[in-house]
Amino acid sequence: MIAPTVRDGTITPDRIDSAAELPIGYTDDQDGGHYRLVPTGTDEYFASSSPIDSWKRFLSPPEALLVRGRSSSTDLEVEPVVPDPVAFAFVGIRACDLAAIGLLDRVFLAPDAVDPTYATRRREVFVVAVGCVHPGATCFCASMGTGPIPRDGYDLALTELYDGDRHEFLVDVGSDRGAAVMADVSGRPAVAADDEAAAARAERAVAAMGRQLDPLDPPRAAANPEHVGWGDVAGRCLSCGNCTMVCPTCFCSATQDRTALLGDGVERWRVWDSCFTADFSSLHGNPVRATTESRYRQWLLHKLVTWHDQFGSSGCVGCGRCITSCPVGIDLTAEIRVLAES
């Protein structure tokens, strides 16, 4: 069971063994390059916004063993690695992160290019989504059309209805597996007033989003590849790759050989990589994207523009993590606005 939980002064998705490990009584304060855990003084379970890290590490782990082999100069034995089956329950996942998994599905479950590691981990996921009623200052899922209320892709979707006197969960059953779980849960039938209360919370959440992204801006920015704004943001960007690590949809990787000390055993590992590294675009020993400007442009235009060509939608779900985790607080919603100006 993976759920948001308090770890190292943040709320992050991680393994929990009981509901007591949910971030009860905590929310977060997020802004560009800023994250603080904040007590709420209530016993709400889901009062926080985007967890600091995404859920992708559970489906596409930072390191995955692909191939094991034994080799000498004249002999090679290759042994495929069959990923261990894992049955996850994702509890308390927000609409933005659910949408992000939908995007990763298009990459790793493409009919002619299924990734066995991803497919094995993804297949059994039981999703208990939660409507996000406390968006943070870096959130803009409403702009990206992914949230704050999950619309599909869940077995159960919860809305926490809390106003001091009342503390209930409105549950929307999204699948037979979800219905089977609910058969063992006590409760009362929902009435119209419950739906209205949930809708009102969602409406307040939309209004409370700290950021916005105009969907017309990315194509305008793409038409300005030589805009001075690229150089300006590159002057602040550290090319550290934090944004790509915390992004719930960034999927790029490297595959590395790892050899045994005796030299006869070899493994091939896939590891997360980032388009902000020099090695990522290395060709004949030199990077094609030699400058931070070219790397930032690749990242932003891939995320917001060419993703549409490749996968039929934006690659950004509006979770705001890249803003929060940027050491210098670069805000893509602000950058794209500048870059879209003619």
Partner 1 sequence: MVPVACRVAAREEIAPGTVSLTVGDCARSVGVPAPGQFNMLWAPGVGEVPISLAGRDGDDVVHVIKAVGAVTRALCALQPGDALGLRGPFGTGWDLTAADGHDVLIIAGGLGLVPLRPLIGEIVAHRARFGSVGLIIGARSPSDLLFAEEFAVWGAAVDLEVTVDHAPTDWTGRVGVVTQLVDAVSVDHDDAATFICGPEVMMRFAAREVLERGTPADRIQVSMERNMHCGIGHCGRCQLGPVFLCREGPVVPWARIDASMKVRGR
Residues that bind partner 1 (CB under 8 A): 66-67, 69, 71-78, 80, 107-108, 110, 112-113, 115-116, 225-226, 251-257, 259, 263, 266, 268, 270, 273, 275, 280-285, 288-291, 293-295, 297-298, 302, 306, 309-310
> By C-beta, is 154 or 307 nearer to partner 1?
307
> By C-beta, is 133 or 275 nearer to partner 1?
275
Q: How far apart are the first and last CA of the chain?
A: 49
Instruction: Report in angstroms how near the CB of residue 310 gets to partner 1 at its nearest.
Output: 6
Q: Is 155 exposed, middle or buried (0-12, 13-18, 19+ CB in 10 A)?
A: buried
Q: How many Å apart are CA 150 and CA 152, to the nearest integer?
A: 6
Q: Is residue 132 helix, strand or coil?
A: coil
Instruction: Report in angstroms how near the CB of residue 174 gets to partner 1 at its nearest.
Output: 29
Instruction: Report in angstroms how near the CB of residue 287 gets to partner 1 at its nearest.
Output: 9
Q: How many Å apart are CA 250 and CA 304, to the nearest integer?
A: 12
CB 51 within 8 A of CB 14: no
Instruction: Report in angstroms how near the CB of residue 323 gets to partner 1 at its nearest.
Output: 22
> By C-beta, is 73 or 342 nearer to partner 1?
73
Instruction: Report in angstroms how near the CB of residue 335 gets to partner 1 at its nearest.
Output: 17
Rounded to 10 deg, the angle between the 292-301 and 228-236 helix axes is 110
> By C-beta, is 215 or 225 nearer to partner 1?
225
Strands 156-162 and 126-130: parallel
> By C-beta, is 112 or 184 nearer to partner 1?
112
Q: Which residue has the tokens 């967890």?
A: 51
